[in-house]
Amino acid sequence: MSLWQNIADTLRAEIARGLWRPGHRLPPEAALAARFGVNRHTLRHATRALADEGLLYSRRGAGVFVAAQPVEYRLGERVRFHRNIELAGRVPGRSIDSVATRACDAAEAKALNIAPGDPVHAVDGVATVDHRPVALFRSVFNARLLPDLPGALAGQGSITRALAACGIADFIRARTLIKAAVADESQAVRLQIEPGGPLIRSESIDVSDGRPIERGIVWWASERVTLALDHGD
C-alpha cells in the first residue's frame, strides 16, 4: 500500500473514532507532513482522496476541515430555510449579496403571471449550514405587488420577515421542479467546490392568497444536502 493510502486510512479511522469532529480544522499541512514523515505532495494526495469521499473539505486560506454529514432538507408546502435547518440540529445562515430591480424575462413572467418586461426585484445570496456554504439562491418577486420589498430587506435581513413587513404574512409552496446541474467557475468559488462539481437545481413558485409572489431558484451543493419530500405537507 502506498504512503498516501496509509495516511488516508489513518485519518479516516481517526475521523470515525471522533478524534476529529465535523467542522474541526486539521493541523497545518506542514505539521501533518512532519507527523507522517512525508512531503506535502504525498499528504495532499491523501487529503484530496478523503475530500473526494466527502470526509474533508478545504477553505481557501483557512485550511482543511472535517465535513459534516449532508443535511436533510424537507420540501413541503411551507418551506422555511432557517426552520428546516434548525429542525435538523444544525446552524443555519443566509446572506443576501444583491437586490436589483429590473425587467423580468419570459420564464419569470410566466412563473409570476405578469407580462414580459414587467419590473421584478431579484434577490441573490448564499445559504450556509454550520457556517459552510450549501446553496446559492435567486428569488424573484413581482415589484408592482411588493414595491417596498428592497427597503424591507435592507431593514430585516430576512426574506420571510421582509415579506411580512410588506403585508405577506403567510405563503405556501405551489410547485417545485428539481434537476441535476454542474457548477460553473463562479458558482464553484462561492460554494467552495470544484468547477464542474455536481449541483441540484430546484425551481419553485410560492403563492399567497392564490397569487404567485416568488419564483425561486436554488443551486445546492449536492454532496452537502439530501432533499426530502414530505407527502403530509
Q: Give the cell for residue 35.
A: 507527523
Alpha carbon 160 to chain centroid, angstroms: 17
How far is CA 165 from each of CA 61, 162, 174, 214, rounded to the nearest angstrom? 39, 5, 22, 16
Q: Which domains does the chain have, with CATH numbers?
A: 3-66 (1.10.10.10), 71-229 (3.40.1410.10)
* 132-168 pLDDT tens trace: 899 999 999 999 999 999 999 998 878 989 999 999 9
C-alpha 121/C-alpha 67 separation (Å) is 35
E strand or H helix at 32: helix 29-36
Based on the number of CB atoms within 10 Å of its own CB, is 136 exposed (0-12), middle (13-18) or buried (19 or more)?
A: buried
Please give the torsion angle defined by the CA atoms of residues 223, 224, 230 and 233, in that order, rounded to the nearest 10 degrees. -140
Residue pLDDT tens, the chain, 233 long:
789 999 999 998 888 887 888 778 899 999 999 999 999 999 999 999 988 877 888 877 788 888 777 888 888 788 788 888 888 888 889 999 999 999 999 999 999 999 999 999 999 999 998 888 999 999 999 999 999 999 999 988 789 899 999 999 899 999 999 999 999 999 999 998 888 989 999 999 999 999 999 999 999 999 888 888 766 55
Q: Are 119 and 100 in contact (CB under 8 A)?
A: no
The 3-state DSSP class for residue 182 equals strand
Best CA proximity match to 137, nearest among 219, 200, 46, 52:
219
Q: Are 225 and 136 in contact (CB under 8 A)?
A: no
Best CA proximity match to 152, nearest among 165, 137, 139, 170:
165
DSSP 68-113: PPPEEEEESSS--HHHHHHHTTS-EEEEEEEEEEEE--HHHHHHHT
Q: Given this model, what pLDDT does residue 16 score? A: 80
The 3-state DSSP class for residue 120 equals strand
Q: Are 56 and 47 in contact (CB under 8 A)?
A: yes
